[in-house]
């Protein structure tokens, strides 16, 4: 049961095994079932049916999302349970992943092998969504007495104990980390960081001002996110930004500083250090970010050769 805007409830219920699905969507049957749920909620006023339908909660995926010159995206690649808007979220992430790779390959900026990374990255995300969906399903309709006991305990404790309430509303989905992607470098490079998006993770958006967001500062190419105490930018960082240019898509140098405006690149002010703290950054920290906002690699201090290597790998070179 999901409370919606405009005094609307969305109610999902599972049909018992063996029930005639065609009969189950007759209006009189739907009204009878919904009325029982509304009565359980303690609602006594008049109500109307807005819309109803029948759906099946699938967890199905292709073995591979690339077949020659065809990339499968969204429901063409995977079917996930409708509850939690997982299908829409996954489809948008599929499109964002595929779009920049197709653009780079068709323009000759990257080899065809770049498209091979689409399937392991996005199929891995699908399998993680399946795990969340199965967890939710088993909570809603326990398959065994053990799962039923867990649900009963969580629901009864949630009335008075806040720490159990997340069990009642299991996570629907979360941003997927391309940790094992062939495009991600330095899988152990996160060890020196205590916070922030790790290698393969999507950037965590940040709001430095009332109408200002980190993601608004990124361009269509790669991005170097450099943290500087006094707005100074070493020459080697400027050179890296030039080296990470692809075709006509420049690599944007974004300098996060608590001091004055940086002489090179675009400045993002962080006077109280909240952004640097959220990203586990100190003066000299550098992030290399893909066009789809996922981290290629990050360094506590600039390592030019490693940055260039991570850039080449992110292009499947």
Q: CATH number of the domain at 87, please.
A: 3.50.50.60
Domain limits for position 292:
214-314
Structural domains of the chain, count? 3
Q: What is the pLDDT of residue 32?
A: 94
Q: What is the pLDDT of residue 230?
A: 82
- The token duo for 175 is 């941003």
**Domain presence at residue 25:** yes
**Domain presence at residue 86:** yes
- Residues 161 and 256 both lie in one domain: no
Report which of 110, 93, 242, 234 is spatially closest to residue 177, judged by C-alpha positions.
Answer: 93
- Residues 64 and 162 both lie in one domain: yes
Q: What is the pLDDT of residue 42?
A: 87
Q: What is the pLDDT of residue 173?
A: 67
- Residues 105 and 149 both lie in one domain: yes
Please list the ranges in the chain whose pLDDT falls under 50. none
**Domain presence at residue 181:** no
- Residues 93 and 125 both lie in one domain: yes
- Residues 68 and 164 both lie in one domain: yes
Q: What is the pLDDT of residue 258?
A: 82
CB 192 within 8 A of CB 185: no
Q: What is the pLDDT of residue 171?
A: 61
- Residues 10 and 85 both lie in one domain: no
CATH code of the domain covering residue 291: 3.40.30.10
- Residues 266 and 220 both lie in one domain: yes
C-alpha atoms less than 13 angstroms from C-alpha of 242 in its C-beta half-sphere: 6
**Domain presence at residue 163:** yes
- Residues 75 and 158 both lie in one domain: yes
**Domain presence at residue 10:** yes
Instruction: Tell me if residue 4 falls in helix, strand or coil.
Output: strand
**Domain presence at residue 198:** no
């Amino acid at each position: 049961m999901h409370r919606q805007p405009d005094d609307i409830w969305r109610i999902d219920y599972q049909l018992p095994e063996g029930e005639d699905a065609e009969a189950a969507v007759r209006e009189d049957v739907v009204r009878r079932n919904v009325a029982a749920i509304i009565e359980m909620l303690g609602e006594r006023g008049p109500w109307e049916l807005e819309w109803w339908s029948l759906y099946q909660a699938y967890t199905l995926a292709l073995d591979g999302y690339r077949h020659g010159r065809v990339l499968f995206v969204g429901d063409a690649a995977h079917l996930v349970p409708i509850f939690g808007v997982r299908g829409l979220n996954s489809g948008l992430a599929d499109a964002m992943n595929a779009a920049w790779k197709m653009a780079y390959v068709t323009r000759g900026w990257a080899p065809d092998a770049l498209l091979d990374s689409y399937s392991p990255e996005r199929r891995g995300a699908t399998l993680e969504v399946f795990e969340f969906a199965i967890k939710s399903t088993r909570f809603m309709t326990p398959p065994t007495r053990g799962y039923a006991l867990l649900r009963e305990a969580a629901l009864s404790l949630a009335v008075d104990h806040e720490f159990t309430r997340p069990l009642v509303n299991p996570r629907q989905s979360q941003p997927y980390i391309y940790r094992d992607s062939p495009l991600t470098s330095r899988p152990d490079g996160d060890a020196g960081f205590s916070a922030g998006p790790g290698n393969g993770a999507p950037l965590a958006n940040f709001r430095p001002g009332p109408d200002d967001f980190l993601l608004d500062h990124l361009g269509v190419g790669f991005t170097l996110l450099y943290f500087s105490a006094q707005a100074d930018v070493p020459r080697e960082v400027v050179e890296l930004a030039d080296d990470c240019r692809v075709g006509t898509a420049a690599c944007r140098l974004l300098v996060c500083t608590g001091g004055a405006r940086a002489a090179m690149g675009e400045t993002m002010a962080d006077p109280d250090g909240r952004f640097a703290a959220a990203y586990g950054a100190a003066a000299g920290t550098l992030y290399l970010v893909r066009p789809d906002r996922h981290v290629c690699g990050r360094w506590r201090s600039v390592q030019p050769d490693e940055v260039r290597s991570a850039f080449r790998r992110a292009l499947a070179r």
